[in-house]
Amino acid sequence: MSSHDGRNGARSPEHRHLGAAVAELRELRGRSQAEVADRAELRRSHLAAIERGEVDPTFVTLVRIVRAIPASLAELFELFERRRDAAES
């Protein structure tokens, strides 16, 4: 079985929800992908792939992203859980 579910290149619903939460948090703080990627020392294309749910970011990468936004992991996971719960309803 593939790790991709076939919708828009996303790996799983969890990857989509996490990516959307990263994008939402970044946008709430008024940061561009390029700015956050630069501050997190990531390629912008990698951050974009995370936001689309196409890659499985490591914990360290998530820490670097939230520090670059700036935000907290708690805020990120709260947004993730809201998106996941809404999708399950």
Q: Check which CATH number belongs to the domain holding 23 and give it.
A: 1.10.260.40
Counting runs of H as helices and runs of E as strands, what totals does the chain give? 5, 0
Region label for 53, one of left (φ > 0), alpha (ψ between -120 and 50) or beta (otherwise): left
Asked if the structure places residue 59 within a domain, the reply is yes
Owning domain of residue 26: 13-88
Measure the CA–CA gap between 21 and 18, rounded to whole angstroms.
5
CA distances in angstroms from 12 to 19, 56, 72, listed in the order given: 11, 10, 23
SS3 61: helix
Asked if the structure places residue 7 within a domain, the reply is no
Asked if the structure places residue 1 within a domain, the reply is no
Please state, as a whole number, how many other Cβ atoms lie within 10 Å of the Cβ of residue 66.
Answer: 21
Asked if the structure places residue 8 within a domain, the reply is no
Q: What predicted TM-score, i.e. pTM, was given to this entire model?
A: 0.86
Residue with token string 């974009």: 48
- What's the confidence (pLDDT) of residue 6? 41
SS3 5: coil
Render pLDDT for 20-74 as a digit per residue (tens, 0 to 9): 999 999 999 999 999 999 999 999 999 999 999 999 999 999 999 999 999 999 9
